[in-house]
Chains A and B, each alone.
Chain A
Amino acid sequence: MMRAPDFRYHAARSVKDAARALKDGGPDAMLIAGGTDLVPNLKRRQQTPALLIGIRHLRELRRIRNGKGLMIGGAVRLSEVAADRKVLRHYPALARAAGLVATPQIRNMGTLGGNLCLDTRCTYYNQSYEWRQAINFCMKAPGATGGHACATPTGDAICWVATSSPRCWAVSSTDTAPALIALGARVTLVSSDGERDIPLEELYADDGMAYLTKSADEILTVVHLPPEDAAVRSTYWKLRRRGSFDFPVLGVAAAVRFGEGNTVSDARVVLGAVASHPVLVPESAELVGRRLTDDVVEAFADAAAAHAKPMDNTDLALGWRKKVARRYVAGALRELKEAHAAK
Chain B
Amino acid sequence: MKVVGQARRRVDARAKVTGQTRFADDVVLPRMLYGKLLRSAHPHALIVEIAASAARAAPGVHLVLTGADFPTAYGIMPVSQDEHALCRGKVRYVGDPVAAVIAASEREAADALALIRVTYEPLATIASPEEALRTAEPRIQDYGEGPNLHRLAHFAFGDVEPALAGADQVFEDVFFYQGSTHLSLEQHATVAALDADGRLTLWSSTQTPHYLHRELARALDMPAHHIRVIATPNGGGFGGKSDPFNHEIVAAKAALVTGRPVKITLTREEVFYAHRGRHPVLMRLKTGVRQDGTIVAMDLETLLDGGAYGSYGPASTLYTGQLQTVTYHVPRYRFRACRAFTNKPPCGPKRGHGTPQPRFAQEVQLDKIAVALGRDPADLRLQQLAPANSVTANWLTIGSMGLKPCIERVVQGSAWRERRGQLPFGRGLGMACSSYLCGAGLPIYWNEMPHSGVQLQLDRSGRVTVFCGATEIGQGSDDVLAAIIAEVLGLETTDIKLVTGDTDLTPVDLGSYSSRVTLMMGNAAIQAAERAKAILSASAGQKLGLPAERVAFADRRVFDVENPSAGMAFQEAVVAAEVEHGTLGTTGSYRPPRSAARYRGGGVGPSVAYSYTAAVVEVEVDPATGWVRVSKVWIGHDIGRVINPVLARGQVEGGVYMGLGEALMEEQAFRRLPPRLSSALVHKIPSMLEYKSPTALEMPEVVTYFIEDPDPSGPFGAKEVGQGPLLPIAPAVANAVFDAVGVRVDQVPITPDLVLAALGAKAKGKSGRVGPEAFPAVPWPEALVVPPPWEGGNGKAINEPAKSRDALPTHHSGTAGVKV
Contacts and interface: CB of A to CB of B under 8 A. Distances in A.
B753 A316 contact: yes
A136 B678 CA distance: 9
B171 interface: no
Given A3-B110, A149-B120, A152-B679, 5 more contacts: A1-B267, A126-B687, A134-B680, A150-B122, A152-B673
11 contacts: A1-B267, A3-B106, A135-B671, A136-B680, A149-B118, A149-B119, A151-B678, A160-B673, A241-B665, A242-B692, A323-B625
A2 B271 CA distance: 13
Given A130-B41, A245-B695, A316-B751, A1 B106 contact: yes
A163 B265 contact: no
A135 B694 contact: no
B203 to A, nearest CB: 18
Contact of A323 (B94, B694, B756): B756
A124 B698 CA distance: 27
Interface string A87-126: 0000000000000000000000000000000000001101
A148 B38 CA distance: 14
B698 A242 contact: yes
A134 B41 contact: yes
A150 B690 contact: no
Given A3-B110, A320-B753, A153 B677 contact: yes
B679 A316 contact: no
A284 interface: no
B30 interface: no
9 closest A-B pairs by CB: A320-B753, A317-B753, A244-B697, A152-B678, A244-B695, A134-B41, A134-B94, A133-B41, A135-B680
Nearest to A121: B690
A263 interface: no
Interface in B255-308: 265, 267, 269
A248 B255 CA distance: 46
B625 A327 contact: yes
B265 A1 contact: yes
Contacts of A126: 687, 690
Given A150-B120, A316-B752, A320-B626, A134 B697 contact: no
B42 interface: yes
B686 interface: yes
Interface in B758-802: none
B679 A150 contact: yes
B682 A131 contact: yes
A46 to B, nearest CB: 13
Given A1-B267, A131-B686, A244-B698, A315 B692 contact: yes
Contact of A317 (B679, B695, B751): B751
A242 B694 contact: yes
Interface of B: 39, 41-42, 45, 94, 106-107, 110, 118-120, 122, 265, 267, 269, 624-626, 665, 671, 673-674, 677-680, 682-687, 689-690, 692, 694-698, 751-753, 756
B674 A163 contact: yes
Nearest to A328: B625
Contacts of A241: 665, 692
A2 B107 CA distance: 9
A327 B673 CA distance: 32
Contacts of B682: 131, 134-135
Interface of A: 1-3, 123-124, 126-128, 130-131, 133-136, 148-153, 158, 160, 163, 241-247, 315-317, 319-320, 323-324, 327
Contact of B624 (A136, A163, A327): A327
Contacts of A148: 41
A123 B107 CA distance: 26
Contacts of A244: 695-698
A247 B265 CA distance: 28
Contacts of A151: 122, 678-679
Given A150-B42, A316-B751, A316-B753, A135 B678 contact: yes
A123 B106 contact: no
A327 B752 CA distance: 14
A149 B118 CA distance: 8
B743 to A, nearest CB: 15
A2 B267 contact: yes
Contacts of B687: 126-127
B678 to A, nearest CB: 4
A318 to B, nearest CB: 9
Nearest to A103: B695
Contact of A163 (B110, B267, B677, B680): B677
A105 to B, nearest CB: 13
Contacts of A134: 41-42, 94, 680, 682
Contacts of B753: 316-317, 319-320
Contacts of B42: 134, 150
A320 B624 CA distance: 11
Contacts of A319: 753
Contacts of B689: 245-247
Contacts of A245: 689, 695
A241 B691 CA distance: 11
B558 to A, nearest CB: 52
Contacts of A133: 41
A285 to B, nearest CB: 27
Given A128-B269, A131-B269, A244-B697, A315 B690 contact: yes
A315 to B, nearest CB: 7
Nearest to A152: B678
A242 B107 CA distance: 34
Contacts of B118: 149
B90 to A, nearest CB: 15
A292 B269 CA distance: 49
- Which of A2, A135, A149, A243 has its CB near the most chain B CB atoms (within 10 A)? A149
A241 B687 CA distance: 15
Contacts of A130: 39, 41, 269
Nearest to A319: B753
A35 B405 CA distance: 54
Nearest to B49: A149
Nearest to B686: A131
A60 to B, nearest CB: 33
B697 A123 contact: no
Contacts of A320: 626, 752-753, 756
A161 B673 CA distance: 10
A76 B106 CA distance: 35
B42 to A, nearest CB: 6
A134 to B, nearest CB: 4
B177 to A, nearest CB: 19
B106 A135 contact: no
Contacts of A153: 677-678
A260 B651 CA distance: 60
Contacts of A131: 94, 269, 682-683, 686
A122 B470 CA distance: 44
Contacts of A124: 671
A152 B698 contact: no
A55 B267 CA distance: 30
Contacts of A163: 674, 677
Contacts of A123: 684-685, 690
Nearest to A153: B677
